Amino acid sequence: MITYLVTGGAGFIGSNFIHYMFEKYGDDIRIINVDALTYAGNPENLKSVAGRENYSFIKADIRNSDEINKIFAENDIDRVVHFAAESHVDRSIKNPGIFVETNVLGTCVMLNAARAAWENEDGSYKEGKKFLHVSTDEVYGSLSDPKDYFYETTPYSPHSPYSASKASSDMLVKSYVDTYHFPANITNCSNNYGPYQFPEKLIPLMINNALTGKKMPVYGDGKNVRDWLYVADHCKGIDMVINKGRMGETYNIGGHNEKQNIDIVNIIIDTLLEILPEDDERRKNVSKELITYVEDRKGHDRRYAIAPDKIKSELGWEPDTKFEDGIKKTIKWYLENEEWFKNVTSGDYLKYYEKMYKV
């Protein structure tokens, strides 16, 4: 039985990955979920798997080397899938220090613990071990030419404290591959969307605000372009890379779904009006009059677009979900899980929202 250590598994992509892996492999794998349960980590995301004998949760901080080394000492870890990170650009602008601590120092702690557990005396590594570092397309910066795409060979040019911290963690992983021949891969993905996403991010934020009749804040002119990837397709790509990816290689995972932010907002409104029954009380709140343009984000990158050619040609990965289907599935999930929404948008989230968007 292969044992996976998933960091940040109570977060958005991490929890979706755990669900994906159990749906695919069932009892043939074991998953240990390590999460510090900061604001975006939610145990409710994994209620349906919490009772499995081949699943365990450990509350631990990846910055704490004693805690992480103890986990490796007590478990024979085969694969590390490293999601744990501070990930919201707006928060990184307000408090860059915590992004450096978690994303850079935390990754270093994870690398050192895995290396200590896996390395043989002659510098080789135990068979079947692999460390997969999950990163972002934001490390590449911004594209000005509409014909350009991010490739694995694109030079890094991060523009926010968040993307700079992720670029730094990528470089750490690369250095361990080059220096210690450490068995690792890196994946750089485009914007994910789907169930369990914390509503500071664009799509769940807009769904929540539309349903509750709150203003829908759009940065600048709303024409910033992002490439959107349904989270289950991303999970499929990660599974392929950690099992079949060439050692030491980086793989870009993107959806070929470029959309302007304002188009996303309009699609959400139109889809809600399409899906919500006429007698649903929430329907009366949904209106394009809620769209409110706010001061642009500092250092706001204009366009991201990933070319997933390498992962397609080497591993056969392609996204299964068209955006028009994925956004409907996502909206339906949030409509059917209103209690989850209420639980995560109470307390500190409200203070953060009011401070950030001032609408």
Name the residues annotated as catalytic: 137-138, 162
Task: With beta carbons less than 8 A apart as the criterion, state whether 172 and 115 touch.
Answer: no
Which DSSP category does 295 fall into?
P
Tell me if residue 5 falls in helix, strand or coil.
strand
Distance CA(154)–CA(173), nearest Å, equals 17
- CA neighbours within 13 Å on the CB side: how many for 58? 18
Query: How many residues does this entry show for the chain?
Result: 359
Label residue 70 exposed, middle or buried (CB < 10 Å: 0-12, 13-18, 19+).
Answer: middle
**Biggest alpha carbon–alpha carbon distance for the chain:** 70
Distance CA(357)–CA(233), nearest Å, equals 31
Distance CA(180)–CA(112), nearest Å, equals 11
Query: CA 196, 201, 204: angle at the middle one, nearest 5?
Result: 55
Query: CA 287, 291, 292: angle at the middle one, nearest 5?
Result: 145
Cα–Cα distances (Å) from 109 to 84, 106, 130, 177, 338, in that order, read 12, 5, 16, 15, 37
Which residues, in sequence order, are CB contacts of 147 under 8 Å at separation 6+? none
